[in-house]
Amino acid sequence: MSYKIKNYLKEIRANEEGAQSFPPGLRQPIAFVYPNVYHLGMSNLGMHILYQMINARGDSACERFFLPDKAMLKEHLASRTPLLSIETGRPLADFAVIFVMLSFEMDYDNLLTVLDLGHVKARSSERNDKEPLVIIGGPCATFNPEPLSAVADAFVIGEGEETVQRILDTVYEEDSKSARLRALADLPGVYVPKFYEPKYEEAAEGRRYLGLKPLAGVPGKISRQWVKDIDAYPHTSAILTSGTEFEDMYIVETARGCGRHCRFCMAGYCFRKPRNRALENIIADIKARPQRTRKIGLMGAAVSDHPEIDELVAFLSENNISFSMASLRADRLNEGIAKALASCGSRTLTVAPEAGSERMRAAINKGITEEHIYEACELAAAAGMQNIKMYYMIGLPGEEDEDIRETVEMILRVRKKMDEAGNKGELVVSVNGFVPKPFTPYQWAPLCSVRTLKQRFKMLNEGLKKNRKIKLITESLKETVVQSILARGDRTMGEYLLEAHQSNVPLKQVLKQHGLDAERIAETPLELGSALPWSHLDMGVSEKYLAAELERSKAGKFTPMCFDGCQRCGVCSTAK
């Protein structure tokens, strides 16, 4: 082992509290991969939850792997040291099972790099009976696993608390890889791609995807799994470390899922229905936090929607516990929350209008008005938070140039309101191109043309550049295009991804070599009623409902949030 790598792992272990390591031979070693750097991976609560659950079994030892940073990657390659676990320094290839948490499309290539460094063959078909099973879960696996179907032996569709346990039980019961895969294919929420054959037909515009044909008696549809009682499972950080974005922060899940029905949001549809944890359990978690905790991180898709958020914030304030919130809607901010956040050292209030014009906010069902933003600015200023950060998307379905002009005017008005309210700090505006995602009403919509997106980014820049108190941050359009084609890609796109990785050239260049244009693929709308690469997955939300929401978007009609007894989208009517 390289001395530098050995030292690096030793330093990480010395800086952690809560990690578990077991003597060799005592338990079955299970690898857990987050295909990005340690700094980001250790901020992922899902990884912490499954780490605790795997270790709690008594027969399994979970060991973590991350993508090395640039310096360590160079050292791995120069020293020919395989990728090693944080816990014991065991090589990745030595594990019988490799779980992967995949949250972002731009991590697809990172995963291939991790497997290369770990001396694990990328293609499942090339891994023999003695080589690892690669099982991928997380948001990307849930909404469209197809681009990585040649890599994964199996996918976890939905939330993993119960499914991962069933997978390990099955792996330990069966003796051969073939028997394990066949048994896994019968588990709820497990998709084994080798048992499904893609069908295509030739058309004037190229090959048309017709769907997947199930083989060997496997289910035709794989149902997304979701935890009905989230209080029954771990819901906090397993390990504290100062080496993450949230330094020595103890993350506590307050709720899961979101019922706001924002039409662009994959998480709102794939992780429906919303479930709130009991206040007494959240408080008990906070009281039991490790002593070195510097701050509590309240985590959830819509933390401020928790019905007892005011009581929770009051508890934190009364006990002088520093905290932050992962998601705060401008219409849910009040004086108590603002003062509590400011007392914890927060100097920036973050809100997400998502769209700058009232018309587009109605189209996406955001439910946020300009008045909500103004009121939030005033509350932030009164509490001592001087800076405001706002998130927007451009290129949303139905958007026009006039909506961008209104976005500019809205941002300028917010800046003026900040000045009037005494916010002397900076207004940071982060703007990304909208990427259509599966299982949303916009799953059929094209990516807005890159030419149009460039023009609209220019409009924003020209409209805001004269005000030095406004900082505009934009995302690379190259990444936007790649995200779009991977988010809605089929197995063919996965082959191009593997080719790009193996030849060390950009995916867009590989597509060009095959006579394809990445931008044209991304900008082509999908046909309503046609087979989609994710049609074999069942999120519980009916396609009829999604299509109806698309029409409501075009008309700017509001859809109320989830409520008890609601049967609209299909999730609650089919839940067992």
pLDDT tens for the chain, residues 1 to 576: 799 999 999 999 999 999 999 999 999 999 999 999 999 999 999 999 999 999 999 999 999 999 999 999 999 999 999 999 999 999 999 999 999 999 999 999 999 999 999 999 999 999 999 999 999 999 999 999 999 999 999 999 999 999 999 999 999 999 999 999 999 999 999 999 999 999 999 876 678 899 999 998 999 999 999 999 999 999 999 999 998 877 899 999 999 999 999 999 998 998 988 999 999 999 999 999 999 999 999 999 889 999 999 999 999 999 999 999 987 899 999 999 999 999 999 999 999 999 999 999 999 999 999 999 999 999 999 999 999 999 999 999 999 999 999 999 999 999 999 999 888 899 999 999 999 999 999 999 999 999 999 999 999 999 999 999 999 999 899 999 999 999 999 999 999 999 999 999 999 999 999 999 999 999 999 999 999 999 999 999 999 999 999 999 999 999 999 988 888 999 987 554
| Pairwise CA distance, residues 571 & 566, whole Å | 9
- What residues contact residue 515 under an 8 Å CB cut-off, 6+ apart? none
Q: What pLDDT, on a 0 to 100 scale, did the predictor assign at position 244? A: 83
Task: Work out the number of other CB atoms within 10 angstroms of the CB of residue 267.
Answer: 19
Yes or no: say if 478 and 518 are a contact pair by the CB < 8 Å rule: no
The identity of residue 530, as a single letter, is S
* Nearest CA among 74, 76, 57 for reference residue 65: 76
pLDDT of residue 260: 92
What is the model's pLDDT at position 574?
Answer: 58
Which of 12, 17, 133 has the alpha carbon at shortest distance from 66? 12
**Which helix (H) or strand (E) is 457 found in, with range?**
helix 450-464
Residues 154/192, Cβ–Cβ less than 8 Å = yes
Tokens of 63: 């060991």
pLDDT in tens, 390-412: 999 999 999 999 999 999 999 99
- Find where tokens 């839940």 sit: 575
Cα(371)–Cα(85) distance, rounded to whole angstroms? 50
Residue-wise pLDDT for 134-164, tens only, equals 999 999 999 999 999 999 999 999 999 999 9
The single-letter DSSP state of residue 193 is: G
Residue-level pLDDT at 576 = 43
pTM summary value: 0.96
Tokens in use for 131?
């080589």
The position carrying tokens 């995200």 is 483
Distance of CA 422 to the CA centre of its chain: 36
Instruction: Locate 145 and state its tokens.
Output: 């696993």
